[in-house]
Amino acid sequence: MAFRITKAVIPAAGLGTRFLPATKAMPKEMLPVVDKPAIQYVVEEAVAAGLNDVLMITGRNKNALENHFDRMTELEATLEEKGDLDRLEKVEYSNDLADMHYVRQGDPRGLGHAVLRARMHVGREPFAVLLGDDLIDERDVLLSRMIEEQNNRNASVIALMEVDPSMTHMYGIATVEMTGTPDVVKITGLVEKPATGTSPSNYAIIGRYVLQPDVFDVLEHTEPGKGGEIQLTDALQSMAQNNIAGGVYGVVFRGRRYDTGDRLDYIKAIVQLAVERPDLGPELKPWLKQFSANLD
Ligand code: UTP
């Protein structure tokens, strides 16, 4: 039976070690991308795809995440008193963006372990997983397409992107078969971060998944894998190979994606998004041109 998917799970309990010391006391998902924390883009994406029920998996040092999606009464009162209604609107926007829920992971024992923490909240319905440090440009459709495929095929669906062969060791990589639908593939195998030269393809898993609830049973029996962590990729590999709950399909994304968990990609994301902003772009563009002309 097809369900209307309403729940999004956002794992945001990782240690963010690539961003230390910035992430010593602050979650990396709160790092600003131009003037909004990365996590707000992700929640906005979930809501735009009709997923109003958001469960965030958090950990120690993650209070700022909860505070961001709650009222900040003193700040709101001050802005109101000053008549600064533009900024007031920006502050209030995230208060009621979604129906937010939180659960802690305890120890960050891997993405699979984080997703397993969502079991009680999700129940027996298909649900989406959006990684809190992976941004998909709002002008490019991905999540709603994946939800549609999940519904049509009654299977799990993951997002894939073709990456340069030199980058495959940084991603979960899929072995795929074509289906009759453009940009939809059947997954026959998955491997987490294959050693350089051993990658079965250049189809990399990116941070969007629409999963059958059966993934929880599989995760419960998934042993720690790469890096000693319980890997979501390993559970999905088992679902693909054993055709559990309809198997696993991939939607190949060809749009704009920004990985804000990586320092270089984070800087690129800010520049790309700021250039296109009407309030910043007109001044930033000529400055950037001059700056790059002076680079050697
Ligand atoms: P990453 O591996 O990119 O996040 O996990 P990380 O471990 O925080 O980053 P580094 O490598 O140390 O810099 C992808 C997503 O999964 C979440 C992270 O918060 C991130 O959004 N995650 C990862 C968890 O919620 N729990 C975990 O145990 C691991």
Express each pLDDT in 112-134 by its tens digit: 999 999 999 999 999 999 998 89
Residue 1 predicted with pLDDT over 90: no
Domain assignment present for 30: yes
Long-range Cβ contacts of 35-38 (<8 Å, 24+ apart): 37/68, 38/132, 38/133, 38/135, 38/260
Domain assignment present for 272: no
The mean per-residue pLDDT over the stretch 233-253 comes to 96
Residue 2 predicted with pLDDT over 60: no
The mean per-residue pLDDT over the stretch 71-92 comes to 90
pTM: 0.94
Q: Which residue has the higher pLDDT, 3 or 181?
A: 181
**pLDDT of 11:** 96
Radius of gyration of the chain (CA): 20
The mean per-residue pLDDT over the stretch 57-68 comes to 87
CB neighbourhood size of 27 (10 A): 27
The mean per-residue pLDDT over the stretch 263-267 comes to 94
40 lines ligand 1 (CB under 6 A): no
Q: Best substitution site from 111, 131, 263 to test ligand 1's pocket, by max atoms within 8 Å of Cβ?
A: 111
**pLDDT of 61:** 73
Of the candidates 143, 125, 66, the residue with the CA atom closest to the CA atom of residue 98: 66
Domain assignment present for 285: no
pLDDT band with cut points at 50, 70 and 90 for residue 253: very high
What is the number of structural domains in the chain?
1
**pLDDT of 3:** 63
Ligand 1 nearest-atom number relative to CA 11: 25
142's tokens: 């991905």
Residue 284 predicted with pLDDT over 70: yes
Domain assignment present for 281: no
Cis peptide before 21, with omega less than 30 degrees from 0? yes
Helix/strand number for the chain, H first, E second: 11, 13
Ligand 1 nearest-atom number relative to CA 230: 28
Domain assignment present for 207: yes
For residue range 9-45, list pLDDT tens digits in order: 999 999 999 999 999 989 999 999 999 999 999 999 9
Return the percentage of the chain with pLDDT > 70, whole number. Answer: 99
Q: Best substitution site from 10, 133, 206 to test ligand 1's pocket, by max atoms within 8 Å of Cβ?
A: 133
The mean per-residue pLDDT over the stretch 90-100 comes to 89
The chain-wide mean pLDDT, for the chain, equals 93
Domain assignment present for 85: yes
State the CATH number of the domain containing residue 40: 3.90.550.10
Domain assignment present for 291: no
Structural domain range at position 96: 7-261
The mean per-residue pLDDT over the stretch 167-177 comes to 93
Domain assignment present for 275: no
Query: What is the widest separation between alpha-carbon atoms in the chain?
Result: 62
Residue 93 predicted with pLDDT over 90: no
